[in-house]
C-alpha cells in the first residue's frame, strides 16, 4: 500500500469512532475476574440437581442459570469483539480461546434441568409458573418444554450429547480450516491483463469486472480448485449430514428437517411452501436473466456474469454525517421514539465504524444483555455503507427493545426473526432512495432491488431445496457422493435460472463453496426473513401508526412467544403465501419499471 492508503493503527482511531467495550467491563482485570467466576457459578447450578420439584429451589436454580448466562455471554462478547478489532493481537485471540471451553461446560452443567423438569407430572409443570411470583417469567419456557417433551432425553443422555458437541462440529471445523487456510488458488487474469492473486475474498471483485475474460478466468480457476477436492468435500458434507441424523434419530424426530425446525416450532409446511411459492415465480427470474443478457450485450449469459453491475453505480459520495441525515428521513415511518433511540445508540458508543490495521472485515451487530448492542463495520463514503449501517442498526434496535422490555429468559429472538428488523430498515432506505433519485440513479436502485431479491430469496431458496434433497437422500439410505451432490446442484440451477443461462461444467462444484450448509436448514430463514421484512416495510410506509405500533411491538417481544405468532401479531402470516407473493410482486414491478426506462 502507498502511504496515503495505509490503514490507521487501532490506537490512532478517535474514541468517538469506536465502540465502547468498557461499557461491558471497565478493565481487562474486571473481565478476567468475571471469566474466572464462571466455574464457581456452574458448580452452584449443579447443586440444584434433584431438587427442582420444589418451586423455590427451581426459582433459585433458574435465577442462577440466568445470572451465569448473562455473565458468560458478556465475557465471551467482550473477548471476541476485542479480538475482532485487532486480529493480530495474540492476547486478544488467547482470551477468546479461553472462553470456548466454558461454553461447553455451561451446556453440560445445565443438562440436568430439562430432564428433571419433564420427570415431574405434566400438570405440576403446567402450574409451576403460578407457584411463585418469580416463576411467572418462565411460563413460556415451561410451555415450550412440554411441547418438546418427547424429544428430551434423560439427564445422563443430555449430558452425554452436550459433551459430543465438539466432536460433531469436526466436519464443519475441518471445512472452515481447509477453505480459509489450506486451499490455494492459481493466479488469475487481472484488469490490466496480467496475472494476479486469486483468493475467496478477491473473487467477488473479479466477477464484478466489466471485462468478461477477467470474470471467466476467475470463475474457472476458483471452481476448478474446488473440483479438485470434490471427494473430500463430499465426505465432509456427508459427515455433517450424518451428525444431524444422529441428533434427530437420538431425539426421536421423524426427519432431520423436522428436528431443525422444531427448535423454533416452525411448521414443516412453512419450509415447503417457501420452496413451492418460489417455484411459481421462477418465470420472473428467467425474465430477469434475459434482461441481464441484453444489458450486458453478451451472446451467452454465464453464471459468472450475474454479479457484474449492469447499471452504473451513482458516484455520489456520502459522508457519515450525510448518512445520518438520510437515515433520519428514510426510517421516519418507524416513528420519533425509534429514531431517538437509534441516534442515541449512534452517539453512545454502539458503533465501531472505521477501518484499522488488523480489524476484521465485514459487519455485524452483537447485543449484550444489560449493556447495549454493538455494531462492527468499516465505513466508506458509499451507499453500500449507509445500507450496511441501516441493516446492522436494525439488528441492534431489535436487541435494544427486546432487552428493554423482556426478562433475560425471554429476550433472545430467534434466527427466524433475526433478519426481519435489519432488512426492514434496508428496504425503507431503498424506498427512500428510489423516491429521491433522478432517472439514472433510479435505474441503479431498481436493479439493486432486483439483485437483493435474486440473491436473498431466489438463491437462498435454491440452497434450501438443495439441503432438503440431500438430507432426504441420506434418510433414504443413499450415499452423498460427489456425483450425487453435483447432480442435485446442477439440476436445481437449471430449474431456477432457466435455459437463458449457461451452466459451465465447473459450476457443479459450487455447492461445496457454501459454508452455511454446515448449519443444517439455516439458509431458508434469509428468504423468510426478507419476505417478512418486505411485508412489514410496506405496511409501515402505507398503513400509518397502527402498523408502526404493531412493528415496534414485534421488536419489543424478543423471544416471548413462538416466531410465527410474534410475526402474526406484527401483521405478517408466515404460514400463508402472502409474504412471498408480496415480495415477488415487488420483483416483477421493479423489473417492469427497469425494462420501461431502458426502452
Percent of the chain past pLDDT 90, that is, above it, reads 86
Looking up cell 416495510 gives 537
Using CA atoms, how far residue 138 sits from 4, 262, 263, 410, 555, in Å, is: 56, 19, 17, 8, 20
Q: What is the pLDDT of residues 191-238, one digit of tens each?
A: 999 999 999 878 999 999 999 999 999 999 999 999 999 999 999 999
The pLDDT score that the predictor gives to residue 157 is 86
The span from the CA of 371 to the CA of 363, in Å, is 20
Contact 308, 296 (CB under 8 A): yes
> Which DSSP letter does residue 313 get?
P
Using CA atoms, how far residue 363 sits from 271, 273, 449, 533, in Å, is: 28, 31, 21, 20
Q: Provide the mean pLDDT of the chain.
A: 94
In the predicted model, is pLDDT for residue 1 greater than 70? Answer: no
User: What are the residue numbers of the active site?
Assistant: 392
The span from the CA of 165 to the CA of 424, in Å, is 34
Question: Strand 364-367 relative to strand 373-376: parallel, antiparallel, unpaired?
Answer: antiparallel
Contact 391, 540 (CB under 8 A): no
- 7: left (phi > 0), else alpha (psi -120 to 50), else beta? beta
**Which of 492, 495, 511, 464 has the alpha carbon at shortest distance from 238?**
511
Contact 193, 477 (CB under 8 A): no
The pLDDT score that the predictor gives to residue 310 is 86
Percent of the chain past pLDDT 70, that is, above it, reads 99
Strands (E), 438-536: 501-502
The pLDDT score that the predictor gives to residue 32 is 98
Q: Is the C-alpha dihedral spanning 91, 95, 100, 102 positive or negative?
A: positive
> Which DSSP letter does residue 365 get?
E
Q: Which of 42-46, 308-312, 444-448 is predicted with the least confidence, judged by mean pLDDT?
A: 308-312
Residue 352 phi, psi (nearest 5)? -105, 100
Q: What is the pLDDT of residues 158-174, one digit of tens each?
A: 888 888 887 888 899 89
For 67, the grid coordinates are: 445470572
The span from the CA of 517 to the CA of 200, in Å, is 17
pTM for the predicted model, two decimal places:
0.91
Q: Give the pLDDT mean for 121-126.
A: 90
Q: Give the pLDDT mean for 372-398.
A: 96
All domains in the chain, ordered by first residue: 10-149 (1.20.140.70)
For 208, the grid coordinates are: 464484478
The pLDDT score that the predictor gives to residue 491 is 98
Q: What is the pLDDT of residues 69-84, one digit of tens each?
A: 999 999 999 999 999 9
For 149, the grid coordinates are: 417433551
Contact 456, 433 (CB under 8 A): no
The pLDDT score that the predictor gives to residue 562 is 97
Angle between helices 268-280 and 578-598 (to 10 degrees): 20
Q: Give the pLDDT mean for 290-295.
A: 93
pLDDT band at 6; cut points 50, 70, 90: confident
For 125, the grid coordinates are: 409443570
The span from the CA of 117 to the CA of 58, in Å, is 9
Angle between helices 282-296 and 268-280 (to 10 degrees): 50
**Which of 412, 421, 452, 446 has the alpha carbon at shortest distance from 431?**
446
The span from the CA of 583 to the CA of 585, in Å, is 5
> Which DSSP letter does residue 558 get?
T
Contact 591, 287 (CB under 8 A): yes
The span from the CA of 407 to the CA of 507, in Å, is 48
For 283, the grid coordinates are: 418465470
The span from the CA of 492 to the CA of 547, in Å, is 38
Instruction: Compute the residue count for the chain.
Output: 599
The span from the CA of 413 to the CA of 367, in Å, is 11
Q: What is the pLDDT of residues 559-581, one digit of tens each?
A: 999 999 999 999 999 999 999 99
CA dihedral (568, 461, 591, 501) in degrees, to 10, reads -170
Looking up cell 459450487 gives 510
pLDDT band at 5; cut points 50, 70, 90: low
The neighbour count for residue 494, using CB atoms within 10 Å, is: 12
Amino acid at each position: 500500500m502507498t502511504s496515503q492508503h495505509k490503514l490507521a493503527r487501532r490506537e490512532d482511531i478517535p474514541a468517538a469512532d469506536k465502540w465502547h467495550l468498557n461499557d461491558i467491563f471497565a478493565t481487562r482485570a474486571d473481565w478476567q475476574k468475571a471469566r474466572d467466576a464462571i466455574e464457581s457459578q456452574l458448580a452452584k447450578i449443579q447443586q440444584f440437581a434433584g431438587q427442582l420439584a420444589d418451586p423455590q429451589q427451581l426459582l433459585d436454580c433458574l435465577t442462577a442459570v440466568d445470572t451465569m448466562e448473562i455473565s458468560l455471554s458478556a465475557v465471551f462478547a467482550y473477548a471476541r469483539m476485542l479480538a475482532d478489532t485487532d486480529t493480530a493481537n495474540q492476547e486478544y485471540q488467547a482470551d477468546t480461546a479461553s472462553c470456548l471451553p466454558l461454553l461447553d461446560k455451561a451446556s453440560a452443567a445445565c443438562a440436568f434441568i430439562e430432564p428433571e423438569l419433564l420427570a415431574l407430572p405434566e400438570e405440576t409443570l403446567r402450574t409451576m409458573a403460578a407457584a411463585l411470583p418469580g416463576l411467572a417469567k418462565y411460563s413460556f419456557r415451561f410451555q415450550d418444554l412440554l411441547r418438546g417433551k418427547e424429544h428430551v432425553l434423560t439427564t445422563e443422555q443430555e449430558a452425554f450429547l452436550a459433551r459430543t458437541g465438539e466432536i460433531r462440529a469436526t466436519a464443519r471445523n475441518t471445512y472452515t480450516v481447509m477453505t480459509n487456510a489450506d486451499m490455494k488458488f492459481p493466479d488469475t487474469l487481472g484488469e490490466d491483463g496480467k496475472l494476479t492473486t486469486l483468493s475467496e475474498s478477491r473473487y467477488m471483485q473479479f466477477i464484478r469486472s466489466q471485462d468478461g475474460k477477467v470474470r471467466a478466468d476467475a470463475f474457472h480457476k476458483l471452481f476448478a480448485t474446488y473440483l479438485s477436492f470434490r471427494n473430500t468435500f463430499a465426505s465432509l458434507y456427508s459427515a455433517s449430514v450424518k451428525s444431524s441424523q444422529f441428533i434427530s434419530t437420538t431425539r426421536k424426530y421423524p426427519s432431520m428437517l423436522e428436528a431443525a425446525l422444531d427448535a423454533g416450532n416452525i411448521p414443516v409446511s412453512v419450509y415447503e411452501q417457501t420452496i413451492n411459492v418460489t417455484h411459481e415465480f421462477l418465470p420472473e427470474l428467467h425474465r430477469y436473466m434475459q434482461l441481464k443478457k441484453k444489458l450486458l450485450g453478451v451472446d451467452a449469459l454465464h453464471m459468472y456474469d450475474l454479479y457484474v453491475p449492469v447499471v452504473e453505480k451513482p458516484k455520489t459520495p456520502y459522508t457519515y454525517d450525510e448518512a445520518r441525515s438520510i437515515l433520519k428521513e428514510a426510517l421516519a415511518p418507524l416513528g420519533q421514539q425509534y429514531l431517538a433511540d437509534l441516534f442515541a445508540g449512534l452517539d453512545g458508543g454502539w458503533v465501531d465504524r472505521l477501518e484499522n490495521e488488523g480489524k476484521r472485515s465485514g459487519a455485524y451487530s452483537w447485543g449484550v444483555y444489560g449493556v447495549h448492542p454493538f455494531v462492527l463495520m468499516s465505513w466508506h463514503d458509499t451507499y453500500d455503507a449507509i445500507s450496511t449501517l441501516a441493516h446492522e442498526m436494525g439488528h441492534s434496535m431489535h436487541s435494544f427493545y427486546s432487552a428493554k422490555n423482556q426478562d433475560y429468559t425471554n429476550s433472545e429472538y430467534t434466527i427466524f426473526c433475526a433478519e426481519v428488523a435489519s432488512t426492514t430498515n434496508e428496504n425503507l432506505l431503498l424506498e427512500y432512495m428510489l423516491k429521491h433519485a433522478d432517472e439514472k440513479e433510479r435505474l441503479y436502485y431498481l436493479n439493486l432491488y432486483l439483485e437483493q431479491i435474486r440473491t436473498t430469496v431466489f438463491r437462498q431458496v435454491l440452497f434450501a431445496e438443495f439441503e432438503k434433497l440431500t438430507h432426504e437422500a441420506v434418510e433414504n439410505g443413499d450415499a452423498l457422493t460427489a456425483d450425487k451432490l453435483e447432480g442435485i446442484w446442477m439440476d436445481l440451477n437449471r430449474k431456477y435460472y432457466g435455459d437463458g443461462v449457461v451452466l459451465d461444467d465447473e459450476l457443479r462444484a459450487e455447492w461445496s463453496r457454501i459454508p452455511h450448509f454446515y448449519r443444517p436448514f439455516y439458509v431458508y430463514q434469509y428468504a423468510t426473513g426478507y419476505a417478512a421484512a418486505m411485508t412489514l416495510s410496506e405496511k409501515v410506509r402505507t398503513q400509518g401508526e397502527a402498523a408502526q405500533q404493531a412493528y415496534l411491538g414485534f421488536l419489543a417481544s424478543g423471544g416471548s412467544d413462538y416466531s410465527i405468532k410474534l410475526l402474526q401479531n406484527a401483521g405478517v402470516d408466515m404460514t400463508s403465501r402472502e409474504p412471498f407473493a408480496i415480495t415477488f410482486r415487488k420483483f416483477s414491478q421493479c423489473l417492469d419499471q427497469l425494462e420501461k426506462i431502458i426502452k
